[in-house]
Amino acid sequence: MINRNEIFAYVKEKFDSEPDYPWLKFPNYAVLRHNGNGKWYGLIMNVPRIKLGLSGEGSIDIINLKCDPGFNSLLRNEQGILPAYHMNKEHWITIVLDSLFPKEEIYNLINWSYDLTK
């Protein structure tokens, strides 16, 4: 289990990235961008569980990360990983932050997404 603040601290230390909040309509949606080229390497959102096909009430935090298409289908077999929400499902994955997917693996996938979007 990981929360958005832990991710923000990690990307600040690792990549000197700060979250960007580009949408007034969605003030909790945070884009993680490369400092040089502005390309996205991550998107953290708070979305209703029902929109993700998950049971339960309320909303949850998720992160979308770029992923190599060859590993995409393998990763989606892991608990807490879903097809990308509102992104290209071949090249992006969604991770449910309050899932049991290991924190260190999320950090590894953030690093990979960062490298894939250079």
Q: How do 30-33 and 40-48 pair as beta strands?
A: antiparallel
Q: Say which residue the tokens 């209703």 belong to.
A: 48
* Domains observed in the chain: 4-116 (3.90.1150.30)
Instruction: List, in order, residues 6 or more apart from 105 with CB less than 8 Å away.
Output: none
How much is the pLDDT for 108?
Answer: 97
Q: HSE (CB half, 13 Å, CA atoms) of 86?
A: 11
What tens-digit pLDDT sequence spans the chain (118 residues)? Answer: 899 999 999 999 999 999 999 999 999 999 999 999 999 999 999 999 999 999 999 999 999 999 999 888 888 888 899 999 999 999 999 999 999 999 999 999 999 999 999 9
Residue 67 pLDDT? 95
Give this prediction's pTM.
Answer: 0.94
